[in-house]
Structures are given as C-alpha cells and as structure tokens.
Structure 1
Amino acid sequence: MKVLHVINSLDIGGAQTLLTDSLPRFVEKKVESEVFVLKKSSEGNFEEILKSKGINIIYSQVEQIYSPLQILELKRLIQQNSYDIVHSHTFPSQYWVSLLKNLIKKPPVFITTEHNTSNRRREKKVFKYLDKFIYRNYRHIVCISEGTLSELITWVSDVKPKSSVIENGIDLKKLTVASPLNPKDIIPNYQDGDKIIVMVARLTEQKDHKTVIQAASKLPRNMHIVFVGGGEKYSEYEAMIKQNNLESQVHLLGPRKDVPNIIKAADLFVLSSHFEGFGLVVVEAMASGIPVIGSDVTGLTDVVSGAGKLFQQGDSQELANIIIELVNHPEMCTAMIEAGYKKSSLYSIERFVDEHMKLYQSLL
C-alpha cells in the first residue's frame, strides 16, 4: 500500500504532530508513506524527524499555498506515482486534492481528515455550497473527535454516511521518558518556589492567548505564564505584554524543539482556544503528568472533562481563579495528574494507526 499525505506545512501544529508520530509506524506496517507539503516549514523539527525515519517529503514548487497551481503540482506527482490513497489534511490542501478528482483518469482513493470544529469558511454561507462540493469528491472523511464530526454534519449534512471518528493519538513513550528542563533555563528571572503555567500553541486568533495574558495580570507575580510557539500574532501579544507591564511574568519562547521537556517543567498546563478539534497538546500534558486547564469549547471539553479543569471560554477571571486554586491545593493537582495519566492512555498512537489501517484496507 502506498499513501500520499498532503498538508499545508510542517510547522508546529496538531496535524503535523500526528503525521510525525504516525508515519514511521505506518512504514513498520508495510505502508509506503510520503508527504506533499505546500509550503516549506519555518519552525519546529518535524521535517528533520520525518526524514530521519526515512519518510520522503516532497515540497511544492508553487510559492503560494492558496494558488490553484498547486493542483497541477499534485496532478503531476500523482500521475508519476502509483499511490493507492491520497490523504489530505487542513485547508487549502483539502480543496486542492478534491479538485483533482476530475482531472485524473484513474484517481487513487481520496480521503481527508477534519482537524477542527470550526474555521473561517463557516462564517460565510457561500462556503457552505463550496464545501459541500469539495467533500463530495472524497470517499471518506475522518474526524478527530465526536465534536468535530457533529459540527461538520451541522455544516454539511451530506457527509454523514461517509464520515467516521478516529480520535487523535500521541506517542506516550516519548512523553513519559522526557526529562524536565531546569526552570531557570526557561525563565531567566525564575526564583525557587515560583510556579510555571505553560501553553503550547501557535500564536493565532483561534488559540486566544489574550485571555491568558489578561489572567496573568490577576495572578501573584511568582506565577509565570510561558507561551511556546510562533505565529502571526507574536508582535501583537508582545506589545500587549509590555503595555500591561507583564514582561517579568509572561514569557514568549517562540517555536521550540524541546517542547516535551518544557511541558515536563511546568506546574500547570493551559489551552484557552476559541475552538478546537481535539486538543492533542492537552493529552500530551496529561501524559507528562501535568494538571491541565482548558476552555469549555466543543472538542476540547471531551478531552479535559474528568481529568482536568474547564473554564468558560474568554473568562480571564475564572481562569485566574482556577490557577490560584490549584497552586494553593496540591492535593487537587495530585488527583488531576492521576486522572490525566489514565485518560491519556486511551489515546495511544498505536491505536490511531491501527484504526487508520482498518479504514485504508476497507477502502481499497
């Protein structure tokens, strides 16, 4: 079996983490796996990891990911290779793969993964009709959570018969063996007894770092917020931190290659997204033995419930109150850590790969 995965980039993100952790395991199961990337990565080390595992990465020669010329690049690649399955991830990769169907005489099986419960297209009715057409060209649609499936069906009801849920998976071993960084290597002004609250997410509107920055202004000065990740909002959030005189308390680390080690050094982990398909990084924090706090939004709620604390999305005061409560009650953290370990064990990368193998085989 030969599978081509198509994705926008290999920058830090949930879909990219899944590919990096799963593709070497597909290869072990005799699935020849390649990745077509629309844009060369500018952060993280996913490319390096995949290449070290023998995964072939093909970069588009078209500079703009939103250019329809990407379709011609993909067409040439598919015609030159005997792929059994082409599996797309994220927009606009989903569009370009779908539009290929009528341009190839004998196309491979096209499937796509829906990685989020919402996106900007769903704010405009015209995209409802476009998405309906795009999804029609796929044999199967994988959703990463029940919430993702529910929201997709609400948007385009026609997809229900050919959609299924395969929940995300993580490399549990990689996280459990990671050693924590020295806190002073993360925060220059760290003092013994200080607390570290980490959030790993791209600096985008979706992830709502603003609420966490606002919560920081309500916390004691010995509680540090650490943001890991790059993105288009970096300068805006940097200015917001300075404007609120939080430079000694809120720290922007940018993209990092040692994310598991940073998470292991944290006292708490938070994810404050406006919307989330699953929240893979929350499961990674649970597997690392860190208590988690998440915004009460579809997708993320399913993962955090029963193993962490939820706050109303956008409510910085409630978030600050939860952080203070957990810092002051270590017995609550101990219970959350135990529950988190149990819950994270349900999301192994091995299960994720096995369920995809069954799907691939059923479609051929």
Structure 2
Amino acid sequence: MIDSKIRVLHVAPSLGSGGTEKVMQSFACNMDREQFATAVYSPVNGPRGRLLRQSGIDTYIGTDLLRVLEKFKPQIVHLHRAGWTEPGSLRPFKLAGTPVLVETNVFGHHDPSPEGALIDCHLFVSEFCASRFEKINSIKVSFPKYGVLYNPVDTDFFLAHCPPGRKIPTNVFGRISRADKGKWSRLAYDFLPALQHLVEQRKLPPFTYKIIGGIPDAEKFVAENGLTEFVRFLPPVLDDAEIADFMNSISFLAHANDTGESFGLVIAEAMAAGLPVITHPSAGLRDNAQLELVDDGKTGIIARNTREYGQAVHFLLTHPEEAHSMGEQARAKAARLFRAQDIARRLGEIYHELLSRKEADGRAGQSRSAI
C-alpha cells in the first residue's frame, strides 16, 4: 500500500530536455518502489513529463504547489535547483509543514536567506562544487547539512547498447549540447581549419564532425571557412536510446564550454558508452568539474588552447587503439562512480537518515517541552 511507503516529491523548474530535468527523471525512476512512492511537480510541462508518466511516475503540472503538497502529502521534497536564493519559492513547503527538504544544488551556489535555512540537506553534484562552496562561503561541507552525490547515469543501459566489442568509426567524432551559446566555446570549432589543412596535405584522412546543438556562430564559422564537407549539424536528442545511437556513430566526444561543467552529464554519458573525451579547463572560479570526470591521458585528453585541442583531435583520430583503451577506462570509471541504480540507492539511504534525524529531533523537542 502507498501509505506504507515514504512519499517523495521531486520539484523541478520544468520538465524540459535539459540535464537538470534528466537527472530528476533518473532519480524518480530509479528509486526503490517498494520503499518509496515518488511523484514529480513542475510549473512547466515538457517532454520529460511524458517519459515520467510512461515509467509510472505521477506528475503534477501547474502553479499551485501548495495544493499539490496538501494532496500528495510528501514526507520528503527533493528540489532540483541552482542553489541561489529564489524569493518566495520555498514558502509553500513551510506552509505545508513538509518534514524534510533536500536540494540537489546543481551549480554549487549558496542561499543565505531565511527560506534557504528550511533546507535540511544540500547535495552538490561534484567534489569540485563542494570544494568551491567551502572556499567561497567558509562553510564546511559535512553531512547531514551538506554532501556530494554525483548525478546518476544509466551505465548499464550504455554498456548494453554501446558494448565494448562494437565497431567504432575511426574517422568520426562528435559533440552534443543544447543549442545555447552559453554551452559553447570557440575551442569547439576554432581547431577545424588546421585539421582541414592536414586533410588537404594528405596528412590526415577526411573526417566527419557531428554536432548536436549547433548555434548560429558555429554554423556561420563552418560556412565561412569552407568546412561544410567535414561538419554535420544534427537535431537534438532526448532519451538514452537516441544518445546511445549517437555515441555509436562517433569514436570520441569533443567537449568545449567556456562556462565549464558543475558535473558534465554528457561527458559522463560518453564515458559510459566507452568513449574518450576531449575537454579543457575553465578560467578562475568557473565550473571545472569536467576535470574531475576526465583524467588526462587515461579517460580522455585535457586541452588548454586551440592548438592543443586540435592536437588532441588529431591524436584520437589517428590512434584508434589508444582511443579505445581510453574509452574503456572511461567506461569503468563511469560505472564505478555514476551508475544510476547505485546513486539512487545512496539517495534512498540519505532520505532514511534525514527522516530518522528529523523524527529524533521531534522526540527530543517533545521531551524538553515536557520538563
């Protein structure tokens, strides 16, 4: 019976196709349904709403969050948000008397507001985010108030659909992101003319660069530099099956994003598919968790500038055995650290511990009031 289960409501800003929403979907779908009755609330519907409902997860869409809380009566609300102050957004949970509030803090920001104090546990998505949070805010990251929980990746699915023995094209590589300028760096295309020159000199076989999430700047660069024979811009993908098909069509992932990654979901998915990843450091205190995922020379290559980025692409194109070895090391790391079922199990343990602590605090408070 549902009443014997712990009721968990995941709250996301939308049910769109972004990484935050995908992580929420993975948590909701991978929680132990013998222990937890899970539902999802969002003010904005989107394609993930359909996927959630197909998986048997109830969704509540609209602006009246308080009514949803009164109807579903969650014991735990799990927020998926940037981490900074959002005035008024937490008030419904106070009014409804929600026992436990958990936050997946996507970007590692600090909410010093009185409302922010309502959150019982802030979970950072990488060790980088936790470390930067400590450094900037002089707040110790320690459980139960703070912790680190990597984003879940369905590594079992990618192992089955992108198996180690599959035929990998040696002259095709790719990039995948949202079609958002904020998810790009010029490193993602500035290296192309140098490789084009090598092809013209017959020092490099012709190659194909597949791009999901192209932006006008990239498309203009490709057109103006006569690179259209090397670059294919593709439509967006939504689910893991579509992502696996894309990963099976390339030999490595070319990642470049000036703002960096607080985790790097696409990087982790490429690793789970057995692909090495080229990425780069971010400047200053920008997100840099991509360096936490990619181990230079082991699971991919870290490039610091356009020349190094082009050299990394050239190396992986011309050294398929080394690329394959890096990819399999990447797969092993992803399975060890990001496997969705393991991450969901750990989240369930966190839920239980937070509820136990809240119940113990309540009993202690009753005892003190009786004295």
Q: SS where residue 194 of structure 2 aligns?
A: coil
Q: Distance in 2 between matches of 1:34 and 1:54?
A: 9
* Paired position in structure 1 for 2:174: 198
The answer as to 2:157 corresponding to 1:174 is yes
Structure 1 counterpart of 2:60: 58
Normalised to the residue count of structure 2, the TM-score between the two structures is: 0.78
Structure 1 residue 85 corresponds to structure 2 residue 83: no
* CA shift in 2, pair 1:132/1:159, >3 Å: farther
- When residues 295 and 103 of structure 1 are mapped into structure 2, their CA distance, relative to the original with a 3 A threshold, is same
Q: Identify the range of structure 1 (322-331 vs 22-31) with the bigger mean alpha-carbon deviation.
A: 22-31
Secondary structure of 2:11's counterpart equals strand
CA–CA distance in 2 between the matches of 1:309 and 1:194? 17
Secondary structure class of the residue paired with 1:132:
coil
Q: Does 1:291 align with 2:276?
A: yes
Does the residue aligned with 1:356 lie in a helix, a strand or coil? helix
Secondary structure, counterpart of 2:22 in structure 1:
helix
CA gap 1:99/1:157 in 2 versus in 1, 3 angstroms: farther
Structure 1 pair 25/56, CA: closer, same or farther in 2 (3 Å)?
same
CA offsets 1:215-246 (integer angstroms, 9 cap, x no match): 2232236222222237xxx3343333333333
* Matched residue count: 323
How far 1:200 sits from its partner (Å)? 1.6
Identify if the C-alpha distance between structure 1 residues 117 and 142 changes in structure 2 by more than 3 Å, giving closer, same or farther.
closer
Separation in 1, partners of 2:140, 2:104: 12
User: What does residue range 47-196 of structure 1 map to in structure 2 within 5 Å?
Assistant: 47-61=49-63, 73-91=64-82, 95=86, 99-100=90-91, 103-104=94-95, 106-116=97-107, 131-133=111-113, 135-158=116-139, 160-161=141-142, 162-178=145-161, 195-196=171-172
Question: How many Å separate the matches in 1 of 2:268 and 2:105?
Answer: 18
In 1, Cα distance between equivalents of 2:246 and 2:233: 13
Deviates more, 1:331-340 or 1:158-167: 158-167
Deviates more, 1:75-84 or 1:205-214: 205-214
| DSSP 3-state at the match of 2:329 | helix
**Structure exhibiting the larger radius of gyration computed from Cα positions:** 2
In the alignment, does 2:260 pair up with 1:275?
A: yes
- Compute the displacement of 1:252 (Å): 2.2
- Per-residue Cα deviation, 1:310-350 (whole angstroms, up to 9, x for no partner): 112xx222111100012112232132023112212212111
Q: How far does residue 98 in structure 1 lie from its aligned partner after superposition? A: 5.2
User: Residue 195 of structure 2 aligns with which residue?
Assistant: 219
Q: Give a deviation string over 1:45-95, Cα, whole Å, max 9, x none.
A: 53332111111122224xxxxxxxxxxx22222123211111111248973
Please state how far the C-alpha of 1:295 moved relative to its aligned partner: 1.8
CA distance in 2, matches of 1:8, 1:244: 39
Q: Is the 8 A contact 2:10 2:28 kept in 1?
A: no
Tell me which amino acid in the other structure corresponds to 1:136.
A
Please say which of residues 219-228 and 88-97 is displaced more in the overlay.
88-97
Shift of the 146–179 alpha-carbon distance from structure 1 to 2, 3 Å rule, reads closer
* 1:194/1:224 contact within 8 Å kept: no
How far 1:37 sits from its partner (Å)?
A: 1.8
Tell me the distance in 1 between the aligned counterparts of 2:226 and 2:13.
37
Q: Which of 25, 30, 35 is the equivalent residue of 2:35?
A: 30
Asked whether the 8 Å contact 2:170–2:320 carries over to 1, the reply is: no
* Gapped regions of structure 1 (runs ≥ 5): 62-72, 119-127, 181-192
Q: 2:350 aligns to what?
A: 359
Q: Secondary structure at 1:318's aligned position in 2?
A: helix
1:101 is displaced (CA, Å) by: 5.9
- Which position in structure 2 is the counterpart of 1:309? 301
Matched letter for residue 311 of structure 1: A
2:14–2:44 Cα contact (<8 Å) kept: yes
User: TM-score, normalization: structure 1?
Assistant: 0.80
**Residues 1:10 and 2:1 aligned together:** no
- Separation of aligned partners in 2, 1:328 and 1:102: 56
The residue matched to 1:248 in structure 2 has which SS?
A: coil
Q: CA contact under 8 A between 1:290 and 1:337: conserved in structure 2?
A: yes
Q: Give the corresponding residue for 1:238.
A: 219
Change (3 A) 1:88 1:210: same
Instruction: Please state whether the residue corresponding to 1:345 is helix, strand or coil.
Output: helix
Cα distance in 1 for residues equivalent to 2:290 and 2:218 = 23
Q: Which runs of 5+ in 2 are unaligned?
A: 1-5, 164-168, 200-205, 283-287, 356-371
Tell me, in whole angstroms, the C-alpha distance in 2 between the residues paired with 1:40 and 1:93: 23
Instruction: Identify which range, 24-33 or 276-285, moves more after superposition.
Output: 24-33
Q: 1:8 to 1:319 in 2, by over 3 A?
A: same
**1:103-151 CA-partner distances (Å, limit 9, x unpaired):** 5052331111112357xxxxxxxxx7xx311532211100111101112
AA partner of residue 212 (structure 1): A
